[in-house]
Homo-oligomer: A and B are copies of this chain.
Amino acid sequence: MAILSWDQNTYMPPAAAEARGHQLSLLGKLVHQKKTDPRLGELLEDLEKETASSSFDSDQAAIVRVAKRQYEEAQKVSADFMARFYRHITETTQVWLEAREANDFDKVAPYLKKTLELSLEYAGFFPEKEHVSDPLINRSDYGMKASTLRKLFQELRRELVPFVEAVTKKPASDRSSLVQSYPVQKQLDFSKEIIKQMGFDFNRGRVDLSAHPFMTRFAAGDIRITTRVNERDISEALFSTIHEAGHALYELGIRPEYDGTPLYDGTSSGVHESQSRLWENVIARSREFWTYFYPQLQATFPTQLGRVTLEEFYRAINHVKRSLIRTEADELTYNLHVIIRFDLELLMLEGKLRVEDLRDAWNERYQSDLGITPPDDRSGVLQDIHWYADFIGGQFQGYALGNILSCQFYEAALKDAPHIPEQIAHGDFTALHSWLKEQIYQHGSKYTADELIRRATGSELTIQPYLDYLRKKYSELYL
């Protein structure tokens, strides 16, 4: 399924779309059958007994633990429900495309209403839940709870909203140097050169082009990313490639002996996103990073950047602006976009917000949190595919967690290896890479996100390092 999706997004000819849909849906059914085969459950029971006396840190025990958890989760949801859900969702995505084209949320609202019902039905398969959203959050961020996240995000929002307001009152940095004509192939070559130096192994992976960049894995020796190149804006290729390479480094760094077991995977979407955001933002939007790479970038694009100083470039790539589109948002405002969506998901699932009123609620929150109101649905409630291609609930928290964790992990890394920034200024990523591999990458999904965070940082998930990082960086730049 991974390779069919990769191909669908990179090379597939247009007329293949319908057949590819059937192929993926057939495979999905076969996979579900295998995943929920009672014989698998019996075998896992036996293995659980056999590993009962093993320590928690034993790989064998961890494999059984994770496999059993995945089996039980799959087992709870009826195959009939999933088939109904996928049929509904295929249609909804199609209607969303039309609604977006027509710039009219009302066209898709009835479908989204049905999606909400199905999301609640899904949650109903997990009677032991604390909050209706928890089973949906568990799908990608196992162990995270709506109650914890709501508290953290509220705190974050309380701090961020006034800080963003202060920063955006000041004149924004000039990013015109980024939006010139940059030959596509050169951008791609330069981006690949950067990620090679970061540690991306081209023997075990490759880079292709797609409309929406992503990372995928076919085996431990075959971890691929895609990127996109905008001839008119060099920041797209640079930061998309680095972002996806961050995801790839995580999976390339998992212990090779986990290949083919449930442990060869990232442990949660939040931790995965922390690795892409760490490289994309904390590292690749830092002065140190460009101290090393900027002279090379200038040499590659002398007419475009010959007269732009390192400091001007640094400010250009850290431009902050109140904006409407999540995927184009800068590092400082990004999590506000995410928290809006997370809160709206909870309200809908709790029955406190009707789908019919979603557009208004969306627009109000953009005004209150970011100080702007979407002029239309396309740049508002219709912008993200998530709710129109999956459940409502559990879709967005991973992005916010990723940003928060990127700083929590980096702070811990700096404590252990304070020379990381100095090394990076010389194009040397060894110390950072080693820390990440040791503390995060190698474990794959052996530990849950909670366990991993505690092991790597010595504390629970906390927003403090993230807030400290943003305050320090953006005060220096703007205040």
Interface residues of A (CB under 8 A from B): 3-4, 7, 11-20, 23, 201-206, 208, 218-222, 224, 259
Contact = CB atoms under 8 A, between A and B. Distances in A.
Nearest to A6: B7
B3 A218 contact: no
Best-surrounded residue of A3, A13, A19, A218 (most CB of chain B within 10 A): A13
Contact of A16 (B13, B16, B222): B222
Contacts of A13: 202-206, 221-222, 224
B15 A204 contact: yes
A431 B269 CA distance: 57
A203 B222 CA distance: 28
Contact of A19 (B17, B205, B222): B222
A22 to B, nearest CB: 8
B203 A259 contact: no
Given A19-B218, A219-B23, A220-B19, A203 B3 contact: no
Given A3-B7, A7-B3, A7-B7, A15 B208 contact: no
A222 B14 CA distance: 8
A379 B151 CA distance: 74
A220 B12 CA distance: 13
A14 B7 CA distance: 18
28 contacts: A3-B3, A3-B7, A13-B202, A13-B204, A13-B205, A13-B206, A13-B221, A13-B222, A14-B203, A15-B203, A15-B222, A16-B204, A16-B218, A16-B219, A16-B221, A16-B222, A17-B221, A18-B221, A19-B218, A19-B219, A19-B220, A19-B221, A19-B222, A20-B218, A20-B219, A20-B222, A23-B218, A23-B219
Contacts of A218: 16, 19-20, 23
Contacts of A201: 15
A206 B10 CA distance: 12
Contacts of A224: 13
Nearest to A201: B15
A388 to B, nearest CB: 25
A200 to B, nearest CB: 11
A19 B220 CA distance: 8
Nearest to A224: B13
Contacts of A202: 13
Best-surrounded residue of A11, A16, A20, A23 (most CB of chain B within 10 A): A16
A219 B204 CA distance: 29
A6 to B, nearest CB: 8
A20 B11 CA distance: 19
Contacts of A15: 201, 203-204, 221-222
A-B interface, 4 closest residue pairs, ranked by CB to CB distance from nearest: A19-B219, A16-B222, A15-B221, A15-B204
A49 B363 CA distance: 64
Contacts of A259: 19
A438 to B, nearest CB: 22
A215 to B, nearest CB: 14
A11 B206 contact: yes
Nearest to A205: B13
Nearest to A12: B222
Given A3-B3, A13-B204, 15 more contacts: A3-B7, A7-B7, A13-B203, A13-B205, A13-B222, A14-B203, A15-B204, A15-B222, A16-B204, A16-B221, A17-B221, A19-B220, A19-B221, A19-B259, A20-B218
Best-surrounded residue of A20, A218, A259 (most CB of chain B within 10 A): A218
Contacts of A12: 222
A250 to B, nearest CB: 17
A192 to B, nearest CB: 13
A18 B260 CA distance: 12
Contacts of A205: 13
A290 to B, nearest CB: 29
A208 B10 CA distance: 13
Nearest to A19: B219
A4 B203 CA distance: 18
A224 B19 CA distance: 15
Best-surrounded residue of A7, A203, A222 (most CB of chain B within 10 A): A222
